[in-house]
Amino acid sequence: MKKRGNHMTSAKKAATAVVLAATALAGALATASPASAATYGGECGAGYAVVNSAGIGGKGTVFLTYNSSTHKNCVVAKRNSAGSAVLVEAGLSISPAGSHWDVYDGGYYTSYAGPIYLSAAGRCVDWMGRVSGTEGGKRRTNCG
């Protein structure tokens, strides 16, 4: 009688390969980090707090901030992560914006456009951010 030794059957080999592949995939998924979203970092200055925000596709976030002492709004459009310069834009207007923004900043930036400021006490505002042609923002918000 021959000893079988430590050889696996082809069915056992296939099952083991599937288990190992699933384990490797689960480990990769657990350690894969999602794309980090942009966060407001005080770009508008002291006294400004975020009162609204909107995603810019998967490319960034536009932040609307307000300073209750000066009664001014501020907008910053930020990329999810800094990199080589791309077209980044920020716009802010008393609503309705019409065919142009009351305040605008745009250019080839590595991180963000703005800050841009506007007094709009008692009024609604329209605001936007754009990264490489993808836009986010809101119309007729933060009234009063």
Distance between CA atoms of residues 31 and 127, nearest Å: 36
Contacts of 40 (CB under 8 A, 6+ apart): 50, 53, 61, 63, 65, 76, 78
pLDDT of residue 135: 96
Distance between CA atoms of residues 117 and 15, nearest Å: 63
pLDDT tens for 64-114 read 999 999 999 999 999 999 999 999 999 999 998 888 999 999 999 999 999
Mean pLDDT over the full length of the chain: 82
Q: Write down all domains in the chain, each with its CATH number in brackets.
A: 49-141 (2.60.40)
| In the predicted structure, residue 35 carries a pLDDT above the cut 80 | no
What is the helix, strand, coil percentage profile of the chain, to 5? 15, 45, 40
Contacts of 144 (CB under 8 A, 6+ apart): 122, 124
